[in-house]
Amino acid sequence: MQRTIEQRMAIKFCVKLEKSAAETIPMLKKAFGVDCLSDRQIFRWHKAFAEGREYVNDENRTGRRGRISSHQPPVPTISQICITFISGVTPLVEFSKIDF
């Protein structure tokens, strides 16, 4: 990830120097070698910076979170719910408090 941010900074620098995307690609390939972004990604970032983008970090994404935060209780399995309900130990209402 850090190498990607470095390369985006280098692309932004090339845009500020008024280098074309075609001129930027060989410079990045020489500087970063096998870790270099693909030509397509270089063109995409070059265009974004040329159009006025300032930030080198990724945009925030919408949708599903990548990991579960530690403060949420583990979600019980269906068999655990059934066993608990049948045994009468815990009312099923407690399981309705779990966010899915």
* DSSP output for 55-84: --SPPPPPSS-SS--TTSPPPPPHHHHHHH
Global pTM?
A: 0.60
What tens digit of pLDDT does each residue of 26-74 get?
Answer: 999 999 999 999 999 999 999 999 999 999 988 877 777 666 556 666 6
Structural domains of the chain, ranges and CATH numbers in brackets: 2-50 (1.10.10)
CA-wise closest residue to 2 among 66, 65, 57: 57
